[in-house]
Amino acid sequence: MYTQAELKKLVNKAILNLSYNEEAEKLNDPVKYILSIGGKRLRPVLALMACNLFNDKIDDAVIPATGLEVFHNFTLVHDDIMDHAPVRRNLPTVHSKWNLNQAVLSGDVMAFIANECFLQTPAHCMSKVFRVFNKAAIEVCVGQQLDIDFEKAAIVSHEEYLRMIELKTAVLLAASAKIGAIIGGCDDREADLLYEFGRNLGLAFQIQDDLLDIYGDVKVFGKILGGDIISNKKTYLLVKALEIASVEQAKQLHKQFALKEFDPEIKVKTVVELYNQMNIKNISENLANNYINTAFSLLDNLGVINERKTELADIASSLIGRDN
């Protein structure tokens, strides 16, 4: 069985060996940049671990798994444009380092580089794998559209928010696990179990990410706490708070998120106090834990000996705990 570190090394090597059209280096430079500035390589590593559950030979899965990472970074390039984000992984975003037009074009070509990676899937399962990937890719775009729509919506239910993060974040993790398992030779039942494992893990991760923005350790989380509140971002915490708030609490929340000029520290403190009054931290943690428990229950139901599940369980625990 491969370790997480070994698989990440394989993915990084495959990224370095990607083929580019050499006719326009300006098109390729931003692609190489975004792929070189770090990241957990979670999606390709998850795919390779799922493959390794069923097959000791994972060579056939390396390039398709790399395609997942290329596609993920393509979404980051375009997300950063839409969010007007100046920094990604503590470095300038592509549109900040180059310009908007270059970021759009280089982001576009990444989607097709990802397709080229998937065309190297073994012939006997290429159609099945590509359909899983393509479905997830479309759903990620739908999730991004919902996120944009929700920015202007006065009220978003927690069911609507959960559906948005399922599409925007969880389905690509789910597809990664399923794709790796299919290439590894699993049956349809096991592939579906791993899809659901990844989906539940993704939902738990995003809810915890929302929590960590306020209640995390800044040294571990890597950014200033309360950033989502300062930027008026709709998170599970805000959506749930507005759903259960009293009339007065809702009035105070709406007031804080309508402010044009404010002291960031005071705004964060005021909103967090309101969240604490409504027990939002515990409500959110309980929901995240429900998704986590479901994910591990699905892993337990796989017809594979426990020793082969260890690395997959470890990466899931690491993701949930934000240790890595």
Ordered DSSP codes for 43-72: HHHHHHHHHHHH-S--HHHHHHHHHHHHHH
Q: At what angle do helices 59-83 and 126-152 cross, to 10 degrees?
A: 20
Is pLDDT at 324 greater than 60 in this prediction?
no
The more confident residue out of 173 and 322 is 173
Is pLDDT at 322 greater than 50 in this prediction?
no
User: If you average pLDDT over residues 234-262, what whole number do you get?
Assistant: 95
Characterise 262 by phi-psi region: left (phi > 0), alpha (psi -120 to 50), beta (else): beta
User: If you average pLDDT over residues 72-99, what whole number do you get?
Assistant: 92
What local confidence, expressed as pLDDT, does residue 220 receive? Answer: 54
Both tokens assigned to 276: 């604490």
What local confidence, expressed as pLDDT, does residue 79 receive? Answer: 92
Residues facing 87 on adjacent strands? 92
What local confidence, expressed as pLDDT, does residue 31 receive? Answer: 96
Confidence of residue 143 (pLDDT cuts 50, 70, 90): very high
What local confidence, expressed as pLDDT, does residue 223 receive? Answer: 55
Q: Are 195 and 302 in contact (CB under 8 A)?
A: no
What local confidence, expressed as pLDDT, does residue 323 receive? Answer: 40
Span 261-293, pLDDT tens digits: 999 999 999 999 999 999 999 999 999 999 999
Instruction: Return the beta strands (E) in 115-253 as ranges.
Output: none
- What distances in angstroms separate CA 183 from CA 139, 176, 297, one per listed residue? 22, 11, 23
Average pLDDT, the chain: 93
Both tokens assigned to 24: 């326009």
User: If you average pLDDT over residues 86-98, what whole number do you get?
Assistant: 90
Q: Which residue has the tokens 């007007």?
A: 84
Q: How many CA atoms lie within 13 A of 254 on its CB side?
A: 12
Ordered domains of the chain (ranges, CATH)? 4-212+291-321 (1.10.600.10)
What local confidence, expressed as pLDDT, does residue 257 receive? Answer: 92
pTM, to two decimals: 0.92
Is pLDDT at 295 greater than 50 in this prediction?
yes
d(CA 218, CA 92): 21
- What distances in angstroms separate CA 25 from CA 20, 22, 115, 122, 182, one per listed residue? 9, 6, 20, 30, 35
Of the chain, the percentage scoring pLDDT greater than 90 comes to: 81
What local confidence, expressed as pLDDT, does residue 231 receive? Answer: 87
Is pLDDT at 50 greater than 50 in this prediction?
yes
Residue 25, exposed/middle/buried by CB under 10 A (0-12, 13-18, 19+)? exposed
Report the candidate in 184, 181, 208 with the shortest Cα–Cα distance to residue 197.
181
Q: What angle do CA 179, 205, 251 make, to 5 degrees?
A: 135
d(CA 16, CA 310): 28
DSSP code at position 304? S
Q: How many CA atoms lie within 13 A of 88 on its CB side?
A: 24
Least reliable range by pLDDT among 16-30, 56-70, 247-261, 307-321: 307-321
User: If you average pLDDT over residues 216-244, what whole number do you get?
Assistant: 82
Is pLDDT at 39 greater than 90 in this prediction?
no
Q: Are 173 and 42 in contact (CB under 8 A)?
A: yes
Please, what sign has the CA dihedral across residues 299, 11, 204, 282?
Answer: positive
Instruction: Return the beta strands (E) in the chain as ranges.
Output: 87-88, 91-92
Span 172-225, pLDDT tens digits: 999 999 999 999 999 999 999 999 999 999 999 999 989 988 988 765 555 568
Is pLDDT at 313 greater than 60 in this prediction?
yes
